[in-house]
Amino acid sequence: MCPMYNSSFIIPLIFTVKLNRVPSRNLTDNIRDVARLDYKNITNNIAFNVKVVPAAGDSREKTVNDIYSYVKTYFDLGGMQMQLNVVTSETLKDAMAHPENYRNLIVRISGYNAYFVTLNRDMQLELIERAEYGI
């Protein structure tokens, strides 16, 4: 199974899936809830978007291993699709300062993807603030 929820992963829940039990409180609960949905009753698939904000002290290896465990658990439970957005505010700030080095950096914005360096300054700053506050 996946590792227990830790502070490295902050998931903003736009809506909560309720399946005759308490609402999702963390990523592990959310994975179980979404994997339980009956896909036969949902047209055009499910977009299960997960924002991962690594903790400052987490190594790249720890972050990758934790994400792997979460994704594997989701699919082992019958999940169909999962989209992860993993980025730190430091990366986004560096992309603002040196856009030539980040031409392929894609970020998730309220239901669509965009190249970070093509966004206007206000949107870039908002995404940095979200990453800093784990929103």
Residue 67 lies in domain: 1-86
Task: Assess whether 68 and 104 both reside in one domain.
Answer: no
Assess contact for 28 and 5: CB atoms under 8 A: yes
* Main-chain phi, psi angles of 2, to 5 degrees: -80, 160
Residues 2 and 56 in one domain: yes
On whether both 64 and 118 belong to a single domain, the answer is no
Q: Both 68 and 93 in a single domain?
A: no
Q: What is the pLDDT along the chain (135 residues), one digit of tens a residue?
A: 344 333 344 343 333 444 445 556 778 888 888 888 887 777 777 778 887 777 778 888 998 898 899 999 999 998 888 888 788 888 999 999 999 999 999 988 877 889 999 999 999 999 888 877 765
pLDDT at 10: 39
41 lies in the same domain as 107 = no
* Strand-pair category, 83-86 with 49-52: parallel
Residue 27: C-alpha distances to residues 18, 61, 83, 87, 120 (Å): 14, 19, 13, 17, 31
Number of domains in the chain: 2
Same domain for 77 and 12 = yes
